[in-house]
Structure 1
Amino acid sequence: AGRGIAAGARIAVLAEHRAPLLLALLAAQLADACFIPLDPTFPVERLGMILDDCRPQLVLHDYRNGDHAALAGQATAAIEALLEQDSGVAPPGTGDMARAPGALAYILFTSGSTGRPKGVQISRGAFANALASFAVAPGLDSRDVLGAATTVSFDIAMLELFLPLTVGARLVMIDKQVARDGMRLAALLAARGVTVFQGTPSTWKLLCAADARLALRAWCGGEQLPQALCDDLLARFAALWNLYGPTETTIWSAVQRQQRGQAVGAGSAVANTTIFLLDRHGQLAPDGAIGEICIGGDGVMRGYLDRPELSAAAFLPDLLRQHGALAYRTGDLGTWRADGTLAVMGRRDRQLKLDGFRIEPGDIEAALRALDGVADAAVTLHAGGGAPLLVGYVVLAGVDADGQPQALQRLAGQLSGKLPRYMIPGRFMALPALPLTLNGKLDQRALPAPDWPAQQAPSRQPEGALEQVVLQAWQQAFGRQDIGLDDDFFAIGGHSFIATRIHAQLARVLRGKVPLSQIFEASTVARLAAAIVAHEGAAGEAMRLAQATLAVQAMTPEARAALRARAQR
Structure 2
Amino acid sequence: MEATILNDTTVDYPKDKPLFELFNESAQAYPDKVAIRFYDRTLTYAETEASANRIAQFLVQKGIKRGDIIGMALDRSAEMIITLLAIMKSGAAYVPLDPEYPKDRIEFMLEDSGAKILITSTKYAGHYAANTTEILIEDALAESASLPPTQPDAGVRGTDLIYILYTSGSTGKPKGVQIVHHAFVNFLLSCQKQPGITSADKTLAVATISFDIAGLDIYLPLSVGAELVVADSLVAKDGRAVLDIVRTQGITILQATPYTWRMMLEVGWEEKLPMKVFTGGEALAKDLAAKLIDRCNEVWNLYGPTETTVYSVIKHVTDAEDVTVGWPVDNTQIYIVDEAMNNLTNGEIGEILIGGVGVSLGYLNRPELNAEKFIDNPFDNKSPKIYRTGDLGQLRPDGEVICLGRIDHQVKVRGYRIELGEIEYQLGQQPDIKDVVVIAREDTPGYPRLVAYLTLRNGQTGHPDAEQQNAWQNALLAELPEYMVPDDFVLLDTIPSTPNGKIDRKALPKPDYGHIVRSDAYIAPRTANERLVSEIWQEMMGLEKISMDDNFFQLGGRSLVAVKIMAKIEEKTGLRLPLATLFEHSTVEKLAIRLDSNSDVISWDSLVPIKPKGSKMPLYIVHGAGLNVLLFNALAMNMDDEQPVYGLQARGINGVDEPLDVMEEIAANYVEEIVNHDPVGPYAVAGYSLGGMIAYEMAKQMLAMGKDVKMLAMFDTYADQTKIHTPPVIRFVKDVWHLIKQIAYTPVLFVQDPKRTVEYKSREIGRRIQKVYKKMFPHKVKKKEGFAAYTNEIHEKSEAAQRNYMLVPVDIKIELFRAKKKTFYMNDFKNLGWTPFALKGVRVHDIPGEHNTIFAPPNDKQFAEVLQKCLDEAVKQ
TM-score by length of 1: 0.68
Query: Does the alignment pair 1:520 with 2:577?
Result: no
Rounded Cα–Cα distance in structure 1 between residues aligned with 2:232 and 2:148: 26
Q: Which residue of 1 aligns with 2:851?
A: none
Q: Which residue of 2 aligns with 1:415?
A: none
Query: Does the alignment pair 1:62 with 2:251?
Result: no
Rounded Cα–Cα distance in structure 2 between residues aligned with 1:59 and 1:281: 45
Question: Does the 8 Å contact 1:20/1:80 carry over to 2?
Answer: no
Relative contact order higher in (CA < 8 Å, ≥ 6 apart)? 1
Question: Does the 8 Å contact 2:203/2:229 carry over to 1?
Answer: yes
Displacement of 1:198 in angstroms is: 0.7
Displacement of 1:72 in angstroms is: 1.9
Q: Which residue of 2 aligns with 1:79?
A: 137
Rounded Cα–Cα distance in structure 1 between residues aligned with 2:315 and 2:388: 21
Q: Which residue of 1 aligns with 2:495?
A: 388
Rounded Cα–Cα distance in structure 1 between residues aligned with 2:223 and 2:155: 13
Rounded Cα–Cα distance in structure 2 between residues aligned with 1:402 and 1:198: 48
Q: Which residue of 2 aligns with 1:18?
A: 77
Query: Does the alignment pair 1:112 with 2:169?
Result: yes
Residues 181 and 459 (structure 1 numbering): CA distance in 2 closer, same or farther, change over 3 Å?
closer
Residues 102 and 458 (structure 1 numbering): CA distance in 2 closer, same or farther, change over 3 Å?
closer
What SS is found at the alignment partner of 1:167? coil
Query: Does the alignment pair 1:9 with 2:186?
Result: no
User: Structure 1 stretch 95-104 or stretch 82-91: which is displaced more?
Assistant: 95-104
What SS is found at the alignment partner of 2:200? coil
The unaligned stretches of length 5 or more in structure 1 are: 354-360, 362-374, 408-430, 436-449, 461-481, 503-515, 536-549, 551-569
How big is the alpha-carbon RMSD for the aligned residues of Structure 1 and Structure 2?
4.5
Q: Deviations over 1:218-259 (max 9, x none)?
A: 110101111111111111222110000000000000000100
- Letter of the aligned partner of 1:249 in structure 2? T
Quick one: which of 111, 125, 130 aligns to 2:182?
125
Displacement of 1:173 in angstroms is: 0.7
Q: Deviations over 1:21-52 (max 9, x none)?
A: 11111101111211110111122221121111
Query: Does the alignment pair 1:403 with 2:580?
Result: yes
Residues 136 and 433 (structure 1 numbering): CA distance in 2 closer, same or farther, change over 3 Å?
farther
Q: Which residue of 2 aligns with 1:498?
A: 680
Displacement of 1:4 in angstroms is: 1.8
Residues 402 and 484 (structure 1 numbering): CA distance in 2 closer, same or farther, change over 3 Å?
same
Displacement of 1:215 in angstroms is: 2.1
Rounded Cα–Cα distance in structure 1 between residues aligned with 2:582 and 2:329: 50
- Letter of the aligned partner of 2:107 in structure 1? G
What SS is found at the alignment partner of 2:297? strand
Aligned residues, how many? 440
Quick one: which of 260, 280, 287 aligns to 2:346?
287
Question: Does the 8 Å contact 2:308/2:358 carry over to 1?
Answer: yes
Query: Does the alignment pair 1:341 with 2:400?
Result: yes
Question: Does the 8 Å contact 2:120/2:134 carry over to 1?
Answer: yes
Query: Does the alignment pair 1:307 with 2:366?
Result: yes
Q: Which residue of 2 aligns with 1:36?
A: 95
Residues 282 and 19 (structure 1 numbering): CA distance in 2 closer, same or farther, change over 3 Å?
same
Quick one: which of 209, 215, 237 aligns to 1:180?
237
Q: Which residue of 2 aligns with 1:101?
A: 158
Q: Deviations over 1:309-348 (max 9, x none)?
A: 1111112233442276111000001111122111101111
Rounded Cα–Cα distance in structure 2 between residues aligned with 1:458 and 1:244: 41
Displacement of 1:135 in angstroms is: 1.5
Residues 287 and 459 (structure 1 numbering): CA distance in 2 closer, same or farther, change over 3 Å?
closer
**Aligned positions of 1:212-361 closer than 5 A:** 212=269, 213=271, 214-322=273-381, 325-350=384-409
Displacement of 1:6 in angstroms is: 0.5
Rounded Cα–Cα distance in structure 2 between residues aligned with 1:238 and 1:338: 28
- Letter of the aligned partner of 1:83 in structure 2? L
- Letter of the aligned partner of 1:520 in structure 2? V
Question: Does the 8 Å contact 2:90/2:154 carry over to 1?
Answer: no
Question: Does the 8 Å contact 2:184/2:358 carry over to 1?
Answer: yes
- Letter of the aligned partner of 2:406 in structure 1? R
Question: Does the 8 Å contact 2:199/2:227 carry over to 1?
Answer: yes
Q: Which residue of 2 aligns with 1:152?
A: 209
| Aligned-pair identity (%) | 32
Q: Deviations over 1:45-82 (max 9, x none)?
A: 2112111111111111122222234x222211011221
Q: Which residue of 1 aligns with 2:194?
A: 137
Question: Does the 8 Å contact 2:612/2:646 carry over to 1?
Answer: no
**Aligned positions of 1:530-541 closer than 5 A:** none
Structure whose alpha-carbon radius of gyration is higher: 2
Q: Deviations over 1:484-531 (max 9, x none)?
A: 4565797864899735899xxxxxxxxxxxxx989415169xx99x99
Residues 242 and 96 (structure 1 numbering): CA distance in 2 closer, same or farther, change over 3 Å?
farther
Residues 261 and 57 (structure 1 numbering): CA distance in 2 closer, same or farther, change over 3 Å?
closer
Residues 320 and 521 (structure 1 numbering): CA distance in 2 closer, same or farther, change over 3 Å?
same
Query: Does the alignment pair 1:204 with 2:258?
Result: no
Question: Does the 8 Å contact 2:206/2:232 carry over to 1?
Answer: yes
Rounded Cα–Cα distance in structure 2 between residues aligned with 1:14 and 1:79: 10
Displacement of 1:455 in angstroms is: 4.5
- Letter of the aligned partner of 2:298 in structure 1? A
Residues 319 and 381 (structure 1 numbering): CA distance in 2 closer, same or farther, change over 3 Å?
farther
Q: Which residue of 1 aligns with 2:111?
A: 52
Question: Does the 8 Å contact 2:277/2:300 carry over to 1?
Answer: yes
Residues 268 and 38 (structure 1 numbering): CA distance in 2 closer, same or farther, change over 3 Å?
same
Q: Deviations over 1:180-218 (max 9, x none)?
A: 221121112211211111111111110111122432111
Question: Does the 8 Å contact 1:146/1:197 carry over to 2?
Answer: yes
- Letter of the aligned partner of 1:154 in structure 2? F
- Letter of the aligned partner of 2:234 in structure 1? Q
Q: Which residue of 2 aligns with 1:546?
A: none
TM-score by length of 2: 0.45
**Aligned positions of 1:432-511 closer than 5 A:** 433=600, 455-456=612-613, 484=642, 493=675, 498=680
Displacement of 1:128 in angstroms is: 1.3
Residues 252 and 67 (structure 1 numbering): CA distance in 2 closer, same or farther, change over 3 Å?
same
Q: Which residue of 2 aligns with 1:163?
A: 220
What SS is found at the alignment partner of 2:87? helix
Question: Does the 8 Å contact 1:97/1:124 carry over to 2?
Answer: no
Q: Which residue of 1 aligns with 2:470?
A: none
- Letter of the aligned partner of 2:83 in structure 1? A
Question: Does the 8 Å contact 1:332/1:348 carry over to 2?
Answer: yes
Rounded Cα–Cα distance in structure 2 between residues aligned with 1:248 and 1:459: 45
Rounded Cα–Cα distance in structure 1 between residues aligned with 2:153 and 2:263: 38
Rounded Cα–Cα distance in structure 1 between residues aligned with 2:247 and 2:324: 28
Rounded Cα–Cα distance in structure 1 between residues aligned with 2:262 and 2:174: 29
- Letter of the aligned partner of 1:53 in structure 2? D
Question: Does the 8 Å contact 2:78/2:230 carry over to 1?
Answer: yes
Rounded Cα–Cα distance in structure 2 between residues aligned with 1:169 and 1:381: 46
Rounded Cα–Cα distance in structure 2 between residues aligned with 1:237 and 1:405: 56
- Letter of the aligned partner of 1:258 in structure 2? V
Displacement of 1:89 in angstroms is: 6.8
